[in-house]
Chain A
């Protein structure tokens, strides 16, 4: 097993130790140790049902852990609520896009901006001038962010998301996760349901965003190996809820266990 984490000597941004998650008798995560180094893009790969999305769900507080400990940025976030995990600086996208299709692009992105907006009743209802200032600031910020992904999209901020194609929805979903300036971004299969060209385009966007944001770490779940090879600095391969391999793409692609897991070679 590669010792990438130790070699760089950096403290991991996210350190998960001995994570276990059982659904009844099904073991979704089996004593998983996983470290995410700051400012890297980490690829999380593995066959269907190997526990990748479950890992995201236990880290972000959607499912409680059966066992294990998660430390993020020096603080223990084991079994915190989804709200607290978000406030600590972790944002995510979902495998099946969970945008609110009936709402506008701007509305959707502002849902992701929750912790930075004034949620007080008095502020929202009575102090309309102050509200308007915060609205204009947030709008400018959201527009600039969307512009990084796609300039024409930034001119259609007040149109319903339901009217846009999959690639734009993915972009909007990533913007929703990024607007609150998280330290860690979890992308759950952003290429799902898109063509090869669209995927390439979206990955360009993600790399550009990564460049622009100074302090951003990304974990990406992905099935397309081309994507993984191109954008990740390190990969972790899961199978049956366990880590079977870790290293650069070239390292893991050569690994015999990985080939077995994917190709079923005995």
Chain B
């Protein structure tokens, strides 16, 4: 590739990122329902036209070849939007929620997207992370960063018990097992007084080496909402999990998970231990979901069983389906749509489940591989394929 062409495509990518950032800012800024509806329609139209003109495919290919650029653009874009809304708690909470949900869905993607282990108890594992954070911040002096990890570890540990019945059942039946677990978890929380019962628990805010995350920040007279803390930490954790999930995919392990998902019999005939890889995917996935949960609890400051219903698990699963099964970037797009649109478009708030259901059905009908279908594996990014 020649240098000028390289620069031009770089300029295109930056321009596209800028356009997306401006669009997101507009969407988050506008209040009137009609204006929001118009913006959403315009967004869909622009994407449609760009797709028809082949611009999206070209952009996707270019960014696919330069992984790091896309990462950098997304982080920079998020920070830019955050800076714009630096004092608007509502919008910042929304952004932080999207980030944390993307982390959780990355975990689900490991289980379901790669290995094909259905998990309809995503919200329960998220909740295990939340409650671990609540109990540990209240009763121990463990450093909070370790509590985040403990949230993940707890989810992974409890998941390793659930994996037993999941392994003994096949496809749909194991999905039913996870649904049962999710329902049991919520009921367990409601009747358990030690964990606050139906009223829930308070969670202390994150405190990192004396830096209290739940205090607003003042820099030279400029007041920033405390949510900025969580957005920055969320982005760091997202970058780490994203890299982790990407590395799993781009290794023999990712290949094993795919082989198990696609054909267990053939995989067994080539020495793959089906049980080992399912446990690996399930445990790693639950760790990531629990980690996201712990951070979420510290940010909200208060959690209750109603945050972890079967409906919430369904949202997580629909994000993975909608985004593009097995494509981490798809999760980002799908989470942004599924979290932000109902919050902004208050008119449909009550019908949000209807909206999710409709979107998932439409996508499965017309684009069964999701909004951003997963590309073929590149083990070594940037390597010339010969």
Contacts and interface: CB of A to CB of B under 8 A. Distances in A.
Contacts of A92: 269
A160 B376 contact: yes
B380 A111 contact: no
A132 interface: yes
Contacts of A112: 270
B17 interface: no
A61 B267 CA distance: 13
* Most chain B CB inside 10 Å of its own CB: which residue of A82, A87, A110: A82
B110 to A, nearest CB: 12
A100 B263 contact: yes
Interface stretch (B97-105, B250-258, B328-336): B250-258
B88 to A, nearest CB: 38
B340 interface: no
A119 B277 CA distance: 10
Interface in B217-274: 244, 247-248, 251-253, 255-256, 258-259, 262-263, 265-273
Given A98-B263, A124-B247, A157-B385, A104 B376 contact: yes
Contact of B252 (A60, A82, A118): A118
B248 A125 contact: yes
B253 A124 contact: yes
A117 B269 contact: no
B97 to A, nearest CB: 28
What range describes how many residues of B lie at the interface?
A: 20 to 34
Contact of B253 (A98, A100, A125): A125
A176 interface: yes
A135 interface: yes
Contact of B268 (A82, A99, A125, A128): A82
A99 B259 CA distance: 9
B377 interface: yes
Contact of A103 (B244, B270, B280, B376): B376
A83 B273 contact: yes
Contact of A87 (B255, B259, B271): B271
B377 A107 contact: yes
Given A82-B268, A86-B269, A135-B380, A111 B385 contact: no
B251 A107 contact: no
A131 B377 contact: no
Contact of A83 (B266, B272, B379): B272
Contacts, number: 92
A114 B147 CA distance: 37
Contacts of A128: 247
Nearest to B276: A119
Contact of B265 (A98, A125, A131, A132): A98
B271 A115 contact: yes
A81 B275 CA distance: 13
B270 A125 contact: no
A86 B268 CA distance: 9
Contacts of A83: 268, 271-273
Contacts of B256: 111, 114, 119
Contacts of B262: 100, 102-103
B268 to A, nearest CB: 4
Interface string A100-144: 101110010011101101110100110010011001000000000
B386 interface: yes
Contacts of A85: 269
A94 interface: yes
A118 B247 CA distance: 15
Contacts of B255: 103, 107, 110-111
B272 A114 contact: yes
A104 B269 contact: no
Nearest to A97: B266
5 contacts: A85-B269, A98-B263, A110-B252, A125-B253, A135-B380
The 8 A-B residue pairs with the shortest CB-CB distance, nearest first, are A124-B251, A82-B268, A98-B266, A100-B262, A86-B271, A114-B271, A158-B385, A111-B259
Given A86-B269, A103-B255, 4 more contacts: A100-B266, A121-B253, A124-B252, A180-B270
